[in-house]
Amino acid sequence: MRKNVTRLAAVGMVLTLTACSTATQPAESTAPAETTAAEDAAPAETAGESSEGEESGAAVGNIVTDGEGWYLWDESGNLTLEGRGADGTTAVVSSGKYEASKAGIEILKAGGNAVDAAVAVSYALGVTEPNSSGIGGGGFMTIHSADGDTVFVNFREKAPAAATPEMWQLDAEGNVIGNQKSIGGKSVGIPGNVRGMEYAFENYGSGNVTWQDVLAPAIDLAENGFLVTPTLYNDMFGSYDAMMAYPEFGDVYLNEDGLNYQVGDTFKNPDLAKTLTTIAEKGADAFYTGAMAQKIVDTVNKYGGLFTMADMENYEVEIMEPAKGTYRGYQIISSPLPSSGGAHVIEALNIMENFDIGSMGFDSPERLHVMSEAFKMCFHDREEFMGDPAYVDVPINGILSKERAKELAAQIQPGVAANYEQISPWQYEHEDTTHFSVADAEGNMVSVTQTVNGLFGAKVIPEATALFSTTRWMTSPPTRSPPTRLQAARFR
């Protein structure tokens, strides 16, 4: 792999809430705070195989199919779970939307590598799953190349230079009033998704496909549309009040009659298609400088934000060392701080390593008890200690310590759900001292977590861009959005 607009389309680029630890449900939303792992996932795709006699969007019996055997929901609007498996021998793409997984497969078939495919998946998800991610957000990418090199690309959102703790309105007890940190201009961070994907493509892509190639599937989806799923419908419905409060939001996500789209409707986002086309033609600079950046700055500040053109232009991707650990001889490579995910996955595995998990039944009470208690400990640590190391001290070596994990494991008793005594990780520190996945035939593997931190991010969409804003503030630990709903798509 290589190392090395005038009127902005309402791109559905919801500017993200970047605080990413425990994405809280916006106050005005009545949609569920979290959905199940398979909820929006269509069945897996195997190249060369399709159901005969099925037309796109057609109802077949009591189910809806996209023409290739992808059963999404029944005639009552309930999501279906059947037919989601697939086999493959060459490569794999797993994401929260089947359209996005297909986009990645297209790029792999065209000669791209896992990084190229991941970029295509990222942009397609931003179109089809705008409630969860998009070009107004940010995220993390872990790349493990076929030659053994591993790199972590941090493209999370960043607070504007003028942000200070004093910008929040506080009550008499010193608490932030209302939802300033999750909705509106003050909650918005400088988006990193576009710059991050460009960086990954230019430095780790195969060179066999173009930047226009990897954005083409997303542009097509935005221009020609896709079917509204039950999950997307629920999130749109639950955000209706916000669409009234932020008219640009409603202009994009309400239909021509000013009403919510329904399950099975075709949703098109032509302004987003225009925005993505501009990015495809001119690169990330078209997003971070010039007319598009100015529109972002103006709209964010219209709702109380503190953006400047310099904030946009000066955004930089950060290259970091991944978090690493082991589990029974297997190496674990995951997201480092400021993501809390990787560290706590390793911590949980360190704790469970002290139990004979293999002798327990797959869904046995014993096994589920150990796992749930281990993760209870991890989330306690997450709440107590984790944050962005640029602003807070985090005892990361203690969190990852196998010796401390052994002490924590000793507190787990069979059949007892307990509250645990805190074992300080600081004593294990030394002074020197956080999704979708793609793998290709060569052995390159990519894992990406990207977010707008809350349903439709900060609800702020720059006029004629449809991009949702993101937030990330130094005045509180980052929060993370709910786990991505996964759906597999493979080809032979």
Catalytic residue among 433, 434, 451, 471: 433
Residues 262, 263, 264, 268, CA torsion sign? positive
User: How deeply is 120 buried, as exposed, middle or buried, from its count of CB atoms within 10 A (0-12, 13-18, 19+)?
Assistant: buried
Amino acid residing at 6: T
Interatomic CA distance for residues 413 and 318, integer angstroms: 42
Strands 13-16 and 467-470: parallel
Residues 422, 400, 339, 218, CA torsion sign? negative
Residue 433 falls in the annotated catalytic set: yes
And the tokens for 305?
């934000």
Active-site residue set: 433
